[in-house]
Amino acid sequence: MRVRLTPLWLLTDELEDSLPGQAVLVNEGTGEAFGPDDIMEPYEYWDLLPAAIHATIMANMEEHTKEEKAFIRRFILVRPG
């Protein structure tokens, strides 16, 4: 699945080098991918925080279908063990 969070950021589980079923937050400008616990700053002045927190903020900026919302929630709530 691919869910557009902002014009620059995409949440997807379709990257070839990702674990099956594991979504990552991807910067489409650079191709850089982040897991939910990776510390990152998606835009200047957004602060360094886990990608899951930034995905939550971004997800609230756009409308999404029920299926997309469920996919976003799985990314936000996943905690690798």
Q: Which residues have C-beta within 8 Å of that of residue 53, sequence separation ≥ 6? A: none
Q: Domain extents for the chain?
A: 2-77
CB 14 within 8 A of CB 21: no
> pLDDT tens across 18-62, in order?
667 789 999 999 999 999 999 999 999 999 999 999 999 999 888
Candidates 42, 38, 17; CA nearest to 27 is 42
- For residue 62, count other CB atoms closer than 10 A to its CB: 12
| pTM (two decimals) | 0.88
**What's the pLDDT at 23?**
92
